[in-house]
Copies of this chain bind each other. A is one copy, B any other.
């Protein structure tokens, strides 16, 4: 039995900041996968509303530990 992780690629969104978008994505992922350990940010993007305000979008790879 060996240590083993799977990585899931997810997208988080926030009107406030990239940190908030990351925390939102981690919160949602926590409901669906257990034992999340670390993440890497793959992409920073965003939407622009008609009034010029910005929606922050972040693509993460999250590593989840699995029982061997």
Chain A residues with a Cβ under 8 A of chain B? 2-14, 16-19, 22-30, 32, 36-41, 43-48, 52-54, 56, 59, 61-63, 66, 68
The residue on B at minimum CB distance from A58 is: B44
Q: Specify which chain B residues have a CB less than 8 angstroms from the CB of A52 in the assembled complex.
A: 26-27, 30, 36
Q: Specify which chain B residues have a CB less than 8 angstroms from the CB of A37 in the assembled complex.
A: 47-48
Q: How many copies does the complex hold?
A: 12
Q: Specify which chain B residues have a CB less than 8 angstroms from the CB of A63 in the assembled complex.
A: 11
Q: Specify which chain B residues have a CB less than 8 angstroms from the CB of A62 in the assembled complex.
A: 48
Q: In the complex, are the beta carbons of A2 and B26 less than 8 A apart?
A: no
How many Å lie between the Cα of A37 and that of B4 in the bound state? Answer: 19
Q: In the complex, are the beta carbons of A40 and B43 less than 8 A apart?
A: yes
